[in-house]
Amino acid sequence: MSKIGWLRILVLMFLWSCGGKTSTQLEEQTSNDQSNITISPKDKAKIEKMIYSIPSPVQAALLLEKTGARFDNKYMNPVSKVSSYQTTAQIALNIGVYGADLAYTNVYKKHVEALKYFSTVQKLGDKIGIGYIFTPALIQRFENNQNNQDSLISITTDSFTEVHSHLKKNQQEELIALMLVGGWIEALYISCQIWENNPSKAIGTLIAEQKFSLNDIIEVIKSSPKVPELDKIYKDLKELLAVYNKIHASYAYEKTELKKEKNLAVIENQTKLKFNNSDIKKISKITEKIRNSII
């Protein structure tokens, strides 16, 4: 599976953006046992390593665009639903969802929609104490740079890097996992819906490749503090994994390149996946079920 190195920081942009102290109202709505959650340093390191191995929603959107798939806003979570998310877990999941939608609009240069989704992330951020990062001046910058894709990505990256710092300070690893799942499921859902309308091999391959990411996401959940929402999602993802396990992966040797200046031999391999439309159809159905339970 291809990796885009410079996008790694964008993993943080979407996967770490659920941190911050909850408001008094939200603390009352959240189960008391969440406030006493702890996680070992070993598991913290494991989570961070796994997160860096998972494609960000921006990367997923870029790969989707490369297939020639057309943009369709009907696949995104409507911004009108933002007020319905009240518990900390719902907010974390849907910052991930809206973050993936924001990535989708940014990559396809849908500037009006991108601004709406950027503002929606800010509204959810207000509910968990990180809204201060998305200042009116920042939103104005975002609006002023609507025609510059690189600037939009830079603005959102800077914002969510600050959110990342806030999150690490407050040690809310369970929200990291919820955020991760929300963004990953939304990106996969969009790909599946596009495939449903145009079952091309390129999009099917993109969906099949998430076999590798799913294993890492499940490991993140297993290493995260145990909360009811993650337990439910874990069960749903295991159902999805059962289908993905039917997709056979093989590795073909490509070439070996000797880099004399570094005294290294670089071996390149290509992963080949064997799947059929029935497999992708099942993945699509389960993904839609999980996504609907989140939004």
Q: Would you place residue 81 in the very low, low, confident or very high pLDDT band (cuts 50, 70, 90)?
A: very high
**126, pLDDT greater than 70:** yes
Residue 148 has pLDDT above 70, yes or no: yes
> Which of residues 105 and 38 earns the better pLDDT score?
105
Model pLDDT, residue 136? 76
| Alpha carbons 10 and 14: distance in angstroms, whole number | 7
Q: In the prediction, which pLDDT does 111 show?
A: 84
| Measured distance CA(161)–CA(255) in Å, rounded | 37
Could you tell me if 283 and 243 are in contact, meaning their C-beta atoms sit under 8 angstroms apart? yes
* Residue at 64: amino acid letter: L
What residues are paired with 251 via a beta bridge?
A: 271
pLDDT at residue number 79: 97
Of 133, 115, 152, whose CA–CA distance to 16 is shortest? 133
Tokens 């079952």 locate to: 199
Asked if the model's pLDDT at residue 186 lies above 90, the reply is: yes
Q: Are strands 248-259 and 264-274 parallel, antiparallel or unpaired?
A: antiparallel
How big is the chain, counted in residues? Answer: 295
Model pLDDT for residues 192-247, shown as the tens digit of each residue: 999 999 999 999 999 999 998 998 899 888 887 778 888 899 999 999 999 999 99
- Rounded percentage of the chain residues whose pLDDT exceeds 90: 35
CB-CB contact of 51 with 176 (8 Å) = yes
Residues 6+ apart with CB under 8 A from 32: none
Of 85, 80, 154, whose CA–CA distance to 117 is shortest? 80
Q: Taking the mean position of all CA atoms in its chain, how far away is CA 69?
A: 19
Reply yes or no on whether the pLDDT at 57 is more than 90.
no
DSSP state of 84: G
